[in-house]
Amino acid sequence: MGIYEDSLEYHSRGRPGKIEVNPCKPTATQRDLSLAYSPGVAGPCLAIAADPLAVYKYTTKGNLVAVVTNGTAVLGLGNIGPLAAKPVMEGKGMLFKKFADIDVFDIELNAADPEDVIRACKYIEPTVGAINLEDIKAPECFYIEERLRAELRIPVFHDDQHGTAIICGAAFLNALEITHKKIDKVKCVFIGAGAACIASANMFLNLGVKPENLMMTDIDGVLFKGRTVGMNPYKERFARETPHRTLADAIKGADVVVGLSAKGVLTQDMIKSMAKDPMVFAMANPEPEILPEEVHAVRKDAIMATGRSDYPNQVNNVLGYPFIFRGALDVSATQINEAMKMAAVRALAQLAKEEVPESVSRAYGNKTFKFGRDYLIPKPFDHRALLAVSPAVAKAAIDSGVAQKKIDVDEYRGSLEQLLGGAFTVMRSIKNRVKKGTEHSPGGRLKSIVFPEGDHPKILKACARLIEDGIAEPILLGRREKIVHTIASLELEQMLAGVQIIDPLTSPKIDEYAQRWAEARQRKGMTPRLASELLRQRSYYGCMMVQAGEADGVLNGISRGYPEAIRPALQIVGVRPGSKLAGIYMMIFKKRVLFFADTTVNIDPKAEDLADIAIYTADLSQQFVDQKPRVAMLSFSNFGSSSHPFAAKVARAVDLARAKRPDLEIDGEMQADTALVPEILTENYPFSSLKDVANILIFPDLQSGNIAYKLMMRLGGAEAIGPILVGMQKPVNVLQQNSDVEDVVNMAAITVIEAQQGMGEKSRPPEHKPDHKKEKKS
């Protein structure tokens, strides 16, 4: 089955098409309906009538874009009409939503006359916050956009023109940097003279290319002064005084060729005639003007970009328009001006120079991307484009005077993280707490975290991030030569310069550590000789550093199984006296954060164990999120509805926890929906001590906790951070095997928080005393 047949099946599967409308307010009760519609809806109607800008507060206008077409230039298919253009417009809407959470109405107009398109767009101005013009043929598209930009008070953006120009411009800036060429010296040739071609040429001029160094060709040859065939006012701006009449003439000695025309327009002989380190941007779709392999066969020094995803340097508009519109909408901009476009260009160019997240590599078959000839611009699935482009565009709108709403750009960047998932927001808060804790520590000292797998590339990349972000001071364990070699291969020498590296095999501390450990476990079969042998293993040595107070925490497990990673910690650091070890997951949903315990350690905990796990989890939760702990002890029974011993165990755990911590809001045994659905909890069990739904769920055994967190990850749309170990005497955490760099950074930040709070040094939860709260606060 070919790509077209696959696409037909994709579009027809389930509900036809690709987008739908969903309500964002509750509609469960009669009161909800009376607020959403008559009579309550009159309230916002009157408010908007009194203040038109209130429409952005009370309606979707500020997050709604109209994607408008008349179907006269659809992809490479030509004038196929508005009806046949609808799948493209729906696709555009889907990408707006996916990448920037912008809602879209796709508007296909049966309007060949540009005046009709203009009139229709003017009519819908009250409905939407911006208009994206799409697939309208040249030169009408220029006229339509110019008129609408002049006559409307909302942004109007023809993506076929400016989206391509912005992405192409970012690639051009980085290609100049790589080839060490000066923008005011390079000679550029543009092929096509259509909407995208003319807009891209204008972008190059705005970036600094000299007009006399830029030439354009179309199907009839070079645009020259005095030419009359196939000309229009928009092409006339690029007509030059030149003897050249053909593309082959114009391209000789050129530094850059930008193709937005048709398959096969460029030949190998033309590429041969270009200057040193030629930049060949062949962006015709679906087949470029010349294939990359054809270029590299004759010019090994060429830098190549296309519009295709199966070659490096894909010039894909999805890198631009979702984030440009996001920034424009969020400041209620009246237009998308040149300053905003330029800000997007420079933001994308800069982003390509930064380290690429593993999530992007995974999306492209685990390929490694690094700034250079084959990586000029970010990949479309790079989520950081939202955080780079939208704030830059918003700031440019404010600075250039077209924003109706002023914002703090740094705070705005933080708010955008919510669109990338709750984990970004939660971890940002945790990292900020880490930095504040460091500022208030003696001398502003960073907490030290030891990494037994110090030669692992992901660990090294994460350590570079930890140092750069001021989160922790890493200590790397392993053979020095191997670690130094891996650091060099990752080009992290500068970022990891001065990082502490310890090889347990040659460490002078071995005898001291062995004696100390043997004395601590002399009644448990440990001898100095056995201790010395074990401590030469990095997992044991790292835990001993923490136990000896020479590191503040240990993070291990990226390349080994959970039991193997946790065993050294249990033997050396140990569990708090009288306590029980447990593994907690922070489950992050779209609108709330829940803590699940125990998910990784205790197969069949006793009631006493469950009580301690509940208390420790409640204490831990307050270190990471700003919410009062409300603990539900889960079972298949609701408050004695079953007398089964399994339910009785959970009920007894509640009594034990209350005896130890009367201040804790905890109840059970209860079913999961009772804990999480307010109507069930308040209407059926008004006597419950939980005054609101639970945010901490304590499971009766390991299998239920482990199954639950994995189901929520795979089916419930939750993001999971963990496992976070509680009950250890000092901060120890275990990574999941094959964690990515972001996971390592997150777990390191959590380990630092634990070290800063001295959580590993707290004793077993005390019996209640009159001054308990004071002790806890101190």
Q: How far apart are CA 65 and CA 466, in angstroms?
A: 39
How does DSSP classify residue 642? -
User: How many CA atoms are closer than 13 Å to the CA of 240, on its beta-carbon side?
Assistant: 19
Q: How far apart are CA 457 and CA 475, in angstroms?
A: 14
Q: 198: buried, middle or exposed (CB in 10 Å: 19+, 13-18, 0-12)? A: buried
Burial letters 509-539, b for 16+ CB under 10 A, else e:
bbeebbebbbeeeeeeebeeeebbebbbebb
Q: How far apart are CA 362 and CA 740, in angstroms?
A: 10
Q: Is the separation of the CB atoms in 763 and 576 below 8 Å?
A: yes
- Is 37 assigned a catalytic role? yes
Name the token pair of 744: 């390592």
Q: Which residues pair with 303 in a beta bridge?
A: 279
Matching residue, tokens 């002078």: 508
Sign of the CA dihedral running 451, 452, 454, 456: negative
Closest by Cα among 448, 442, 474 to 461 = 474
H helix or E strand, kind and range, residue 436:
helix 422-439
Amino acid at 114: P
- Is 585 assigned a catalytic role? no
Sign of the CA dihedral running 329, 332, 336, 342: negative
Strand order in the sheet with 582-588: 665-670, 630-634, 696-698, 593-597, 582-588, 719-726
Q: How far apart are CA 778 and CA 774, in angstroms?
A: 6
- Which residue is catalytic, options 10, 37, 406, 628? 37
- Which residue is catalytic, options 25, 57, 86, 92? 92
Phi-psi region of 406 (alpha: psi -120 to 50; beta: other; left: phi over 0): beta
Enumerate residues 6+ apart whose C-beta is below 8 A from 411.
none
Q: How far apart are CA 319 and CA 538, in angstroms?
A: 43
E strand spans, 549-700: 553-556, 582-588, 593-597, 630-634, 665-670, 696-698
Q: 4: buried, middle or exposed (CB in 10 Å: 19+, 13-18, 0-12)? A: exposed
Closest by Cα among 118, 115, 135 to 72 = 135
User: How many CA atoms are closer than 13 Å to the CA of 192, on its beta-carbon side?
Assistant: 29
Q: Which residues pair with 107 in a beta bridge?
A: 68
Which positions are annotated as active-site residues? 37, 92
